[in-house]
Chain A
Amino acid sequence: MSKSYELFIGPNHPGIPGNFSLKIELEGDTVISAKGDPGYLHRAFEKAMEGRYYIQNLALIPRICVPEPDINEAAYAMAVEDLMGVEIPERAKYIRTIVLELARAANYTFWMGGFAGTLGLYTLAQWSFGDRDYALDLFAEICGARVYHMYIWPGGVRRDLPPGWEDKLLGYVKYMKERLIDYDNIFFKNVMFKYRTKGIAVVTKEQAIEWGATGPILKAAGVAQDVRKDDPYAAYEYLDFEIPTLTDGDSWSRAMIRRWELENSLNIIEQAVKKMPKKGPVWEKMPNPLKWYVPEGETYAKVESARGEHGFYMVSDGTGKPYRVAVRGASHTHMFTIAEKVLIGQRLADVSHILVSLDVCPPEIDR
């Protein structure tokens, strides 16, 4: 008779941005059940938003996602703009696109490090954390902060781009494209990566659809779905890009999709810089923040995050503070409906890399 035992993983864990834990039950080193155990990062974002003026939430929402804060700013701003019936200026749309893609690129760069780390390749982590910093420097120049930008706000963006910034941005894009060759050599084309991830934690196309997967998990299973294409926001409708897909739905495919998307983001940035109106307003004037009454109504605004569909459901009762905001982060679904299932039958040594391959971002779960 085999004896099972329970193992507690977390709440600190390399490769996962934030505190989160798992309770797994094993027989030998095979997982027989897994349960997500959130709560270590709970800061009551949604509740806190109800007590603050619309503009004040700007300080709160980026914190819902450390590696890619801007998706929150964008979805929040879009929700407010939708309720107010505001159309943002063209140049602001492009700037938002650039910022969101830069954030996506930085996020995938960060992710590569975390993922490689769970497979034991720390060199890549050191490279990628360093390279992400160059993106953070670019953010600091437009908004004054490296991580929590608070740059996209209702009406557009908070400041126009500083002179010469586009050139620096294109310099970064060029540098990253060159670096990708190295990343490929050391990791994506590395046979160890293939051995460790091929055929692991498969989410089939049918499962992905049934379980409500979005983002790389869905694309890795063969479905070309992406908010940027299906429900374009910012300036995506003016830009030319493809949604990458693979068919196997395993850990390897998910990683490759992210690698692919990173390159895609760099290309989108180049295009957007070229196409963007060179002058013009970047912000539509908003009311005095202390008397910023948003018309009664409800809305759901969504963007494509590095992990999938990321949305803000917002209800206004016509006052200066939101009545209710709910944040839909892709990670919630990816953890509780997907990870808990696909971890079953996997080996203990793979648990962390599977979690990172599903890109579970704890603050999106603990909101």
Chain B
Amino acid sequence: MNIKEYEKGSFLKPLTSVKYLFKKPHTLRYPKETKPVADRFRGLHINDVDKCIGCGNCRDICPCAAITMEKASKIGRPIEIDKKGANPVRPKIDYGRCSFCALCVEMCPTGSLKMSKDLIYTSPDAEAFAWVPLEEQGREPGFIQDNEITPLMLEAQEMEELEPEVRKRSFEEMILGFSEEQARKEAMRCLGCGICMQGCPAHMKIPEYIQAIFDGDHKKSVKYMLEDNVLPGICGRICTHRCQDDCVYQYRGAPIHIMWLKRYATDQLEDYKDVNIEKMPATGKKVAIIGGGPSGLSAAYHLSTMGHSVTIFEQKNRAGGALATGIPLYRLPIYELDKEIGNIESMGVEIKTNVKVGEDVKFEDLLKEFDAVYIGIGLSYGRSINLKGEEHPDVVQAIDFLRQVKVEGRRDITKHVIVIGGGNVAMDVARTVARLQEINYQSKDTTVETVSLEDWDIMPASQEEIDGALEEGVIFNPAWGPNQVIFNEDGSIKGLEVKKVKYVFDENHRFNPAFYEDQKKIIYGDYIIESVGQMYNFSFIPKELMEQLKFTPRRKVWVDEYGETSIPGVFAGGDIVETSKGDAISAIANGHRAAIGIDRFLHGKSRRG
């Protein structure tokens, strides 16, 4: 720039602007003419309220407090509200406050919320500037999420586990657990929305305990856990983690590893001395608990914190139920059971092992000697499928086999094993067999094959388990049904004859398998493990009382909302009741609920008592 030219100053130059009299103006004749709106325009919101889950993350991030959550019934049209992991509320935006920053859009984990290209709205009514954005308001989308650049941490931390070749050689725990850094990073992802809590049968305080992990306060974290779950370290290893299925990260990324965070926090504490629930003064009341599985242990812990004296009667030589005798060591090591069951004992709970109710003590006597009784006997017995030839000693039940390996130290196995079943227990069996075959034969000329009615798409086992089994060399025969055991001339087992499955569920969605009778094959093997479910045994209850015990149509024990059965003062929970989802955490939740029920009963507040 030549500054001299400017210093002179001119009278005439300004007149050159006269040329603009003959040019088009840069203004538009609105509304006849409009400008194209930028594609990323941040205008009034659009929300796909059917996709939205009412998590409230948009509200939490809004810097202007412009968002409130409106009840689904008030948004002016029906929405899908009872879907999994959702709150029946939807965001309402006050445009008197909104700054159009679109942080809400960035933070929306479902991607339901967008901004539109429209910013024009007029009304004489101030109240009219707040509404629930809906798609049918017909606005054209503008600013939307981007999975590449997003404040959400969509990716999960990778969990290290032993390589298939290594883990097969022993029963060592295969999941290695998070390092401190990984745990903190994973905990950092949590948005604190708490949608996951609904999915957890025990409604654990997940956002709180994750926040405590993020803050490095492991004690505080485990303290939160123990309020609703007395076996957090065990659940941190084997839980069915329904919470993770609900985690809002699932829609645009990977759910948070809530379960492994739980394991991480508990692993940091040698014991729970300092973090247990505080005990109330002794009440002098006595409660008997039949069965030392997770539900019995949970009831016992909470009852003892309430000041009652608790005795557990367990028929096996150790407490823990299916956790102690079923779940293989590579998923749940003994030391974790000892640590958490030991903690429950430290609260003053007496555990009498090797005492079978019905044989060593009478149920009627318990009713007399104790102020209340809790039944948590679980499904401790294998269920056979009435397979032709199953009386052979080399056809065994999963639950017995797993117990022998886990508790009794069995390490022998044959070279060709067939596992009947497609659920998680069948996976536990098959993967246990794979380990035994590696230990005994380095997997030379060995086979372990599963047979399941279900095809891949409906196989009940979790994907993690299926993948793990495949990695360990398990062969699957999906959509085949067992027909009969085939024997060699010497009476030993030759294999299993199976027939092709037509369908598993009939048109009424009932379990009612049908087969192609002409499509058969033989799976060769010398040892068969049936793993198609377990059942309970109520023979310890005398006939007159048994008649009083009400069952549900699905043959589960009927209980009220406090876990009380139809016999006053007798409570039940765990796998034998219908509210259980057949997993440890349901059993723990049932036990907790019944403890509250029993406490009410002992204080004379029972509904019927």
**Contacts from A to B (Cβ < 8 Å):** 52-53, 55-60, 123, 130-131, 133, 137, 140-145, 148, 150, 158-160, 162, 182, 184-195, 244, 246, 256, 259-260, 263, 282-283, 285-291
Contact = CB atoms under 8 A, between A and B. Distances in A.
A366 to B, nearest CB: 18
A275 to B, nearest CB: 23
Given A148-B99, A150-B101, A190 B10 contact: yes
Nearest to A133: B26
B61 A290 contact: yes
A59 B64 contact: yes
A130 B153 contact: no
Contacts of B101: 58-59, 148, 150
B40 A186 contact: no
Contact of B63 (A58, A195, A244, A283): A58
Nearest to B60: A290
A153 to B, nearest CB: 9
Interface in B201-253: 211, 214
A151 B8 CA distance: 42
A228 B284 CA distance: 79
Interface string B33-46: 00101111110000
Contacts of A285: 153
A182 B16 contact: yes
User: Counting chain B CB atoms within 10 Å of each CB, which of A59, A142, A191, A286 scores highest?
Assistant: A59
Given A58-B103, A182-B16, A282-B149, A288 B9 contact: no
Nearest to A138: B38
A143 B63 contact: no
B38 A185 contact: no
B35 A194 contact: no
Interface string B2-20: 0101111111011011000
B63 A56 contact: yes
A131 B142 CA distance: 25
Given A56-B61, A137-B35, A186-B13, A144 B26 contact: no
B153 A189 contact: no
Contact of B41 (A56, A140, A189, A192): A140
B1 interface: yes
A93 to B, nearest CB: 16
Interface in B563-578: none
B192 interface: yes
A56 B64 CA distance: 9
Contact of A187 (B14, B107, B153): B14
Given A58-B101, A184-B13, A187-B14, A141 B40 contact: yes
B90 interface: no
B189 interface: yes
17 contacts: A52-B63, A53-B61, A59-B103, A144-B38, A144-B42, A145-B42, A158-B149, A159-B149, A162-B40, A186-B14, A189-B10, A190-B9, A244-B1, A259-B1, A288-B189, A288-B190, A289-B151
A295 to B, nearest CB: 14
Contacts of A56: 61, 63, 103
Contacts of A52: 63
A189 B13 contact: yes
Contacts of B13: 184-186, 189-190
Nearest to B35: A137
B177 to A, nearest CB: 21
Given A185-B10, A194-B7, A246-B3, 13 more contacts: A56-B103, A58-B63, A131-B26, A133-B26, A144-B42, A145-B42, A185-B14, A186-B14, A190-B13, A287-B188, A288-B189, A288-B191, A290-B192
Contact of A59 (B6, B99, B115): B99
B14 to A, nearest CB: 5
B384 to A, nearest CB: 51
Kindly list the 3 A-B residue pairs having the minimum CB-CB distance in the complex, ordered from nearest.
Answer: A191-B9, A56-B63, A144-B42
B190 A283 contact: no
Contacts of A192: 14
Interface of B: 1, 3, 5-11, 13-14, 16-17, 26-27, 35, 37-42, 60-61, 63-64, 99-103, 107, 115, 142-143, 146, 149, 151-153, 187-192, 211, 214
A191 B61 contact: no
B190 A291 contact: yes
User: Counting chain A CB atoms within 10 Å of each CB, which of B38, B42, B61 scores highest?
Assistant: B38
A291 B186 CA distance: 11
A286 B188 CA distance: 11
Contacts of B115: 144
User: Counting chain B CB atoms within 10 Å of each CB, which of A56, A160, A187 scores highest?
Assistant: A56
Contacts of B11: 191
Given A60-B63, A144-B102, A288-B190, A159 B151 contact: no
Contact of A186 (B3, B17, B188): B17
A137 B26 CA distance: 13
A283 B149 contact: yes
Given A59-B64, A190-B9, A286-B151, A260 B42 contact: no
A55 B9 contact: no
B149 A59 contact: no
A193 B40 CA distance: 41
Nearest to A195: B9
A189 B9 contact: yes
B107 A289 contact: yes
A197 to B, nearest CB: 10
Contact of A288 (B1, B100, B146, B152): B152
A244 B290 CA distance: 89
B403 to A, nearest CB: 44
B6 A188 contact: yes
Contacts of B17: 123, 182, 185-186
A162 B142 CA distance: 13
A142 B14 contact: no
A4 B591 CA distance: 88
Contacts of B40: 140-144, 159, 162
A308 to B, nearest CB: 20
Contacts of B35: 137
Contacts of A189: 5-6, 8-10, 13-14
Contacts of A144: 38, 40-42, 102, 115, 142-143
Nearest to A285: B153
Given A145-B100, A182-B16, A288-B189, A263 B1 contact: yes
B63 A191 contact: no
Contacts of A60: 63
Given A57-B63, A140-B41, A144-B115, A291 B143 contact: no
Given A186-B16, A263-B1, A283-B149, A256 B6 contact: yes
